[in-house]
Structure 1
Amino acid sequence: MKKIVIGITGASGTIYALDLLKELHNAKDVETHLVISPWAKENLAVEETGYSMQDIGHLADFIYDARDMGALIASGSFKHDGMVVIPASMKSLAAIATGLGDSLIGRAADVTMKERRKLIIVPRESPFNQIHLENMLKLSKMGVEVIPPIPAFYNRPKTIQDIVSHTTMKILDHLDISNELSPRWEGLRETKNSLRGNTQ
């Protein structure tokens, strides 16, 4: 069974975290360990999702208090298959990049890196300033995967859910969890025709 750690921080874009949790909840043989920061809870109450903490509780197998530094996921001896910080606020990004570990999300990310396990950051800010970019570059050089929730339009999204699903698909791909949530790039029609012509 895959064990996935999810950290939700106080950036806008909680909808991305909820969609990922839904898909992981529906996936076979996946166990989720969830941490929600205090500001993420505030966003949940006022933001775009319409979900409550109780709703989220049904989507995760284990939920930890963000202040519980003695939690299972705070130790490198807890073996898991990846951690996703989604959405990642710039404060959380900075804390992870500097190894601050002042919250359970930061600590869990820190031990994920030190144990050389997969860490995915989904930063939600615009525009990025130099500090944001330097922190992302620093983490990328350490093997952290940075996946901003940038929409694609080759799949011709018609709804907000289509746009969100594309990001969820990318994250699941990087967690090695099979999915077909969003249409994938199949190549330019002109390229296909050109190749077909060269074979005649």
Structure 2
Amino acid sequence: MIALLLRDLRLAVRAGGGFGLGLAFFLIVVTLVPFGVGPEGGVLARIAPGILWLGALLACLLSLDRIFALDQEDGSLDLLATAPIPMEAVVAVKALAHWLTTGLPLTIAAPVLAVLLHLPQGAYGWLVLSLLLGTPALSVLGTFGAALTVGLRRGGLLLSLLVLPLYVPTLIFGAELVRRGAEGRTVEVPLLMLAGITAATIALMPFASAAAIRMNLRQT
């Protein structure tokens, strides 16, 4: 399991589809927003939670098609399917590798980029907490979408259409958590909802992803 995780981390860095691409896209989104809506600090502060969360979501989406595509191309996925490791565990490791190369760097970079959007000082801790709670769900849900489209040529667009609706609850409660934290309001409801979504996703989605992979492998 550790060897598989380290292999996926090396592939993500070498392929350029994880750490670098996600951070670059996140930076571009946050940098361009003030040009589009104007430099007024009050306006930027109001929309900052939603923009930061939307940028992180789209940055995670960029590298989803690489989760299983490289293994499918070189035949490693067939070997993993016949290995003594359960496919559910393989999927969980893939999701963890995606989060370590995409979700975690975005969480670390978000407070720095939030300065450009004049995010209130009291919301920085809630921003980091919300991304730490929510980005694992994005990676696990993305793994499910990648499992459904593995083996399809140019399945990136279909993957986005499948995954984006599943991302909506995480986006809503993640942004609401930061927004309430910035306004000094109670955050228990969005915090618990976000944690519940992530916990349920981590518990259930690896089984669905493993079933999707087995089905696609039977058809090839």
Fold shared by both chains (TM-score > 0.5)? no
Give 1 or 2: higher strand fraction.
1
Higher helix share: 2
- TM-score w.r.t. the length of structure 2 is 0.25
Higher RCO structure, 1 or 2 (CA under 8 Å, sep 6+): 2
**What's the TM-score, normalizing by structure 1?**
0.27
